[in-house]
Amino acid sequence: MSRSIPSLGLAITLALLASGARLNSQESAAGASPRQLLAALKASNAELLQKQEKTLQKLDELKKQAEQLRILTKRS
């Protein structure tokens, strides 16, 4: 009964498409061709990936700082 993440994502995507739900990127591109919609989605995804990368970098920095703090408190 366990589903893999890609198949679950596909199922959700198909459900959204079948329901006629509009994505945020589609609202601004109403009446656009499928190619234009795809380009808008790719741009939106690229922006999201950049934000996620920055967040991961910040988390890594915080993790390193926490490790250093643990080392310093053990020495004291």
Q: What is the pLDDT of residue 40?
A: 95
pLDDT(1) > 50: no
What backbone torsions phi and psi does residue 10 show, to the nearest 5 degrees? -65, -40
Q: Residue 44 in contact with residue 36, Cβ under 8 Å?
A: no
How many structural domains are present in the chain?
1
pTM score: 0.51
Which pLDDT tens digit goes with each residue over 20-53?
656 555 555 568 899 999 999 999 999 999 999 9
Domain interval for residue 59: 5-75
Residue 44, C-beta contacts closer than 8 angstroms, at least 6 positions apart: 24, 25
